[in-house]
Amino acid sequence: MTAVEQGARVAFLGLGHMGLPMARNLKSAGYDVVGFDVSPAAMRSANEAGIETASSGPDAAAGARVVITMFQTGAQVLSAYSGGDGVDGLVDVAPPGTLFIDCSTISVDEAREAHRLAEVAGHRALDAPVSGGVVGAENATLAFMVGGGEEDFETAKPLLEAMGRRVVHCGGDGLGQAAKVCNNMILAVSQIAVAEAFVLGERLGLTHQALFDVASNASGQCWALTTNCPVPGPVPTSPANRDYQPGFAGSLMAKDLGLAERAIESTGVDAKLGLMAREIYKEFAEGPGANQDFSGIINTIRALSGDR
């Protein structure tokens, strides 16, 4: 099937902090976007941004060539796809052969079930979680990790490139989610390590700038340092310079590491650091860290560190 061309009707469901700028970028790229969100406030924001809205998810999907979902949980994705309790499922109302793209971060098993629901109903499906946070969504610089068939990936690629800078086909059904869970486990472990290093440097008398200048140009270089630096100053655009406003909230990192924990348990991988990061961020998200950027873990490390 040919690539999704400009002017094609795209239903975008889930117009939150990530979804709305993604939908706006699609509209700016020339796609005919209709959106829906269960939140009245999100619907108002979409209208103010010039996004046409529908009265329900199924109403948005009816007549669309592509249906994109950006939800918080896998249960929400599967419920929207299948419907129930008198509500039509998205796969029931979409025109035959509609391409379903789920950009939520959910488990691999849930992603594969979403593929199955779409395909049984005569549609095509991709799982395409993203990395890059709200800033990436706003600036159309997201990274998409895509699972599904090669032909469906090529069909969706121009549309995804309107929202992101890097689009990678990771393999078959569910493997976009597999890449996402692995990536975020790396990110969590590295963010904790960077935070611990800065607290240790403080105790040893290093300035933040001196440690940054060394590590950012040496073997300690990583995204958690050079983009999401957990202390104010060295990276002016990092959340640390705006009192740890997310960014990527601690509650979301805790959720993603919960998915990693499930994957670790199901595969039997000896992932000690991944599981430790899961416990650290779970505790962080049970307090004020839920609504802070996940780099705010540095404050927890400081608080738990002994006196000099």
Distance CA 23, CA 61 (A): 14
Return the biggest CA–CA distance within the chain.
67
Cis preceding linkage at 247, omega within 30: yes
Which residue numbers are catalytic? Answer: 180
* Alpha helix ranges (H) inside the chain: 19-28, 40-48, 57-61, 74-82, 90-93, 108-120, 133-139, 150-161, 175-204, 208-215, 223-226, 250-267, 272-285, 297-304
Backbone phi, then psi, for 146, in 5-degree steps? Answer: -115, 130
Backbone phi, then psi, for 19, in 5-degree steps? Answer: -65, -40
Please check whether residue 130 is in contact with residue 103, taking contact to mean a CB–CB distance below 8 angstroms: yes
Token pair recorded at residue 125:
């499906």
Distance CA 258, CA 278 (A): 7
